[in-house]
Amino acid sequence: MEYTRLGTSGLKVSRIALGCMSFGDPTQRTPWVLDDDAAEPVFRQAVELGITFWDTANIYSLGTSEEIVGRALRRYTRREDVVLATKLWAPMHEGPGGAGLSRKAVMEQIDASLRRLDTDFVDLYQIHRFDPHTPVEETMEALHDIVKAGKVRYLGASSMWAWQFATMQHVAQSHGWTRFVSMQDQYSLIHREEEREMFGLLADQGVGSIPWSPLGGGIVTRPWGERSTPRAALNRTVDQQDRPIFLDSDRAVVEAVQRIAQARGVSMAQVAMAWVLKNPVVSAPIVGATKPHHLADAVAALDLSLTTEERDALEAGYVTRRPTFF
């Protein structure tokens, strides 16, 4: 395993992050998630591979993911050995503190997450999305206050327009409040819109990218059109505005990944992950593992160096699209 600083902060993280959206109660809306017993091999493998960065959110299985992660921290490792990240914003219940980024929501949701995680603090607390209904000053001051209260060590954000992120950073800086050290954004061979504005902003601000869905929801890990796994069969093909998430043109990208993987004698996932890891602004892609090879492939990608010709081939077929913030 390799380790790096999250952006220019002092926080040291493994270069592969364990995404914990895969853990929860399979009897709820997402039947592909893993309960405690099914998740045990994944947590044990993560510890054995040296993956010390674990990312969850309050909304994942409506809090069940946080509960499972909290129990895993006690069973399979030590709290001080893990950089623990969670998020807020999504609706958890009815009422003024159940969703969004108001002061009431921030104060209520951090305490609820700490109870479910059974810990005194979160290493990285992230806003899951931008809240247009709450003044930025209110959000950033509330986040600063929970840092100063010792409940949170660092702050991060996720999936928003670059101007929104820049505004929040500016407000924090101008008031002397805690700034974000990370951006959890969608980035893969078939979702590269962050390269336009966000990545330049992150580099300028010293913020580390921790991409979600670095394998394009699994699209770039199997031959084009194959949706043989339960999760792949359930993956959305359109966003909340019924716009296509994946384009027919993505086939050229997937086929390039397949050709290079076959020539190298490695999995398609390793090739696609190696491409994400080569971006200098990327600190740690987030891997939502449900099978042993998911984490193994991600870690193996750290040792796979793509040639200039291979990178050009992987990038040649990309067609721009509107970012999806769902």
Query: DSSP letters of 103-147?
Result: HHHHHHHHHHHHHHHT-S-EEEEEESS--TTS-HHHHHHHHHHHH
Residue 228: CB atoms within 10 Å: 8
> What are the two backbone dihedrals, phi and then psi, of residue 254, each rounded to the nearest 5 degrees?
-60, -40
Asked if 188 and 161 count as a contact pair (C-beta separation under 8 A), the reply is no
Asked if 226 and 266 count as a contact pair (C-beta separation under 8 A), the reply is no
> Which band of pLDDT confidence, cut at 50, 70 and 90, is reported for residue 322?
confident
All domains of the chain in start order, with CATH? 3-245+270-305 (3.20.20.100)
Instruction: Give 284-317 as a DSSP string.
Output: --EEE-SSHHHHHHHHHGGG-PPPHHHHHHHHHT
Whole-prediction pTM value?
0.93
Summarize the confidence of residues 105-133 as an average pLDDT: 98
Q: What is the pLDDT of residue 233?
A: 55
Looking at the chain, the whole-number percentage of residues with pLDDT higher than 70 is 94
Instruction: Give 218-249 as a DSSP string.
Output: GGGGSSTT---SHHHHH--SB-TTS-BSS-TT
The most distant pair of C-alpha atoms in the chain lies apart, rounded to whole Å, by 56
Residue 56: CB atoms within 10 Å: 30
Which amino acid, residue 149?
A: A
Tokens 């054995």 belong to 48
**Torsion angle of the four alpha carbons 315, 198, 22, 91, in this order, in degrees rounded to the nearest 10:** -140
Q: Which residues are catalytic?
A: 60
Q: What is the pLDDT of residue 318?
A: 96
Low-confidence winner among 56-60, 146-150, 207-211, 243-247 (lowest mean pLDDT):
243-247
Instruction: State how far the alpha carbon of 233 is from the alpha carbons of 24, 30, 219, 230, 270, in Å.
Output: 19, 12, 11, 5, 22
